[in-house]
Structure 1
Amino acid sequence: MPLATLLADPAAWAALITLIVMEVVLGIDNLIFISILSNKLPEGQRSKVRRIGISLALIMRLALLSVIAWIVGMTAPIVDLGIAGAPGSHGEPTFETAFSIRDLILIAGGLFLLYKATTEIHGTMQGEDHSGTDKGPAVGKAAMGFGAAIVQILLLDMVFSIDSILTAVGMTDHLPVMIVAVIFAVGVMMFAADPLGNFIARNPTVVMLALGFLLMIGAVLIADGFGAHVPKGYIYTAMAFSAGVEALNIAARRRREAKAADGGH
């Protein structure tokens, strides 16, 4: 469709707005992971690694859009275990045994998220310092940490990018609409990266909440890979509710601290 015709089409604008909202919401998962990972680096490197990570996410999404026919083909089964899943309430299998490239990537990404979140929670419970402020011989250590952070962000960018592009393909047939929505959503991620990362760094209890989100997202990715599709609305509603409760806890804690500073008056 010519660009002028597309711009005059109300359906295209409706698809663009809906897709932008969807892409921004889907980007929350990616942003939480980048924020937690970047906060383990020295303070001077955090903003840089966030910018690089989000830029890589944009490059990956645009690259995937350029091979959109191949991306759509990633949903075709390539492996079939030939095992019948346990029957559900209507007699259908409760999980799939035929896996596409997309399914395998989602399962691998979910396992990686579960591993990362579990090790981070274990480190937090053991009292390890992940703030990146240690004073060791760390020129080499910081450099390795920076490179490792970029590699891990790149791996998860791939998982979230495929999910993002398949969502876009399912909502519109117009490539310019997909490109604009992806660029806008990644721009929002870029704008929100530092405030979110700094907020998480200032509020240690939020770190555990965010790691809990990553555990949940990892489990959902694995379930999706096995064909058990959990509606995204349920996931984000649970996340919003948990974040709201934590916001009340933070507000109450700050009020108590302010009262204590004023001598209890």
Structure 2
Amino acid sequence: MFSWIVDPNAWLALGTLTLLEIVLGIDNIIFLTLVVAKLPENQRNRARRTGLLGAMLMRLALLTLAAWLSHLVSPLFYLGAHGISARDLLLLFGGLFLLWKATTEIYETLEGAEEHIVRRTPSFWSAIVQIMLLDIVFSLDSVVTAVGLSSHLFIMMAAVVVAVLVMMGAARPIGNFVEDHPSVKMLALAFLLLVGFTLILESFAIDVPKGYIYFAMFFSMAVEALNLLRQSCAVSERK
């Protein structure tokens, strides 16, 4: 079981998988940040930890069911010449949910700023359920990628655990930063719209390279970072 410890290729696989899990978890962190932000201040840290731990356990469970995952791509029924599988349905409903969630958040943010609408605060466990259910959709690609890159179950599980620990450390500062900067929050909601639309396209076998999406996200964040830096410098000069 632990023979991989002396295998350099195994360590390379572990590092690659960990990095992939972290990168593919960016959209998960964005969604988690927006859901947790609606909870009372004293529940947010616990919700982040509980949601990410639950997500980690689900990913580990999916890894142990690698053979079952292969059946998710088998067509359940056909729409014309296109076969619809369980994976397609998961991606479709996950994408629709993200579109609904992001659109609702954008509307409440804009209307709340203008009309001071009081929003209903979700319960702690409803937030956790939302985080865990969306993580199933978000983790499908990363789990399938992990299965394809390594044949060692322990390496795949270790990569997931390390990635989730990194996400736990990053979730709070990212959440605080997003809440303190409304323009960044709107940008994050736009990312969720993009991810939701991409999931819907993938459910209909229209492949959208992930590299394009992540490049757009990082480029937008870089532009926003420059804008925030400019605003900070302008404030400093006025003082």
Q: TM-score, normalised by structure 2?
A: 0.93
Q: Could you tell me which of 46, 64, 67 is aligned with 1:66?
A: 64
Count of equivalent residues: 236
Q: Distance in 2 between matches of 1:230 and 1:115?
A: 21
Q: Distance in 1 between matches of 2:28 and 2:199?
A: 13
Structure 1 alignment gaps of length 5 or more: 85-96
1:200 corresponding residue in structure 2 = 178
- Deviation of residue 128 (structure 1)? 5.3
2:63–2:147 contact (8 Å) kept in structure 1? no
1:78 corresponding residue in structure 2 = 76
The alignment status of 1:101 with 2:86, answered yes or no, reads: yes
1:167 corresponding residue in structure 2 = 145
Q: 3-state DSSP class of the match of 1:79?
A: strand
Q: TM-score, normalised by structure 1?
A: 0.84
After superposing on structure 2, the runs of 4+ consecutive aligned residues of structure 1 that deviate more than 6 Å are none
Q: Distance in 2 between matches of 1:233 and 1:188?
A: 21
The alignment status of 1:38 with 2:44, answered yes or no, reads: no
2:110 corresponding residue in structure 1 = 125
Q: 3-state DSSP class of the match of 1:126?
A: helix
- Deviation of residue 193 (structure 1)? 0.7
Q: Could you tell me which of 219, 230, 238 is aligned with 1:252?
A: 230
1:56–1:157 contact (8 Å) kept in structure 2? no
Q: 3-state DSSP class of the match of 2:76?
A: strand
**In proportion to residue count, which structure has more helix?**
2
- Of stretches 158-167 and 235-244 in structure 1, the one that deviates more from structure 2 is 158-167
Q: Larger radius of gyration, structure 1 or 2? A: 1
Task: Kindly provide the amino acid, as one letter, of the partner of residue 3 in structure 1.
Answer: F
2:98–2:193 contact (8 Å) kept in structure 1? yes
- Deviation of residue 49 (structure 1)? 1.0
2:161 corresponding residue in structure 1 = 183
1:37–1:149 contact (8 Å) kept in structure 2? yes
1:217 corresponding residue in structure 2 = 195
Q: Could you tell me which of 109, 126, 135 is aligned with 1:148?
A: 126
1:3 corresponding residue in structure 2 = 2
Q: Distance in 1 between matches of 2:113 and 2:134?
A: 24
Q: Distance in 1 between matches of 2:73 and 2:113?
A: 41
Q: Distance in 1 between matches of 2:12 and 2:125?
A: 41
- Deviation of residue 250 (structure 1)? 0.8
1:53–1:150 contact (8 Å) kept in structure 2? yes
1:32–1:210 contact (8 Å) kept in structure 2? yes
Task: Kindly provide the amino acid, as one letter, of the partner of residue 45 in structure 1.
Answer: Q
1:87 corresponding residue in structure 2 = none
Q: 3-state DSSP class of the match of 1:74?
A: helix
- For 1:49-64, what aligned pairs fall within 5 Å after superposition? 49-64=47-62
- Deviation of residue 72 (structure 1)? 2.0
- Deviation of residue 167 (structure 1)? 1.6
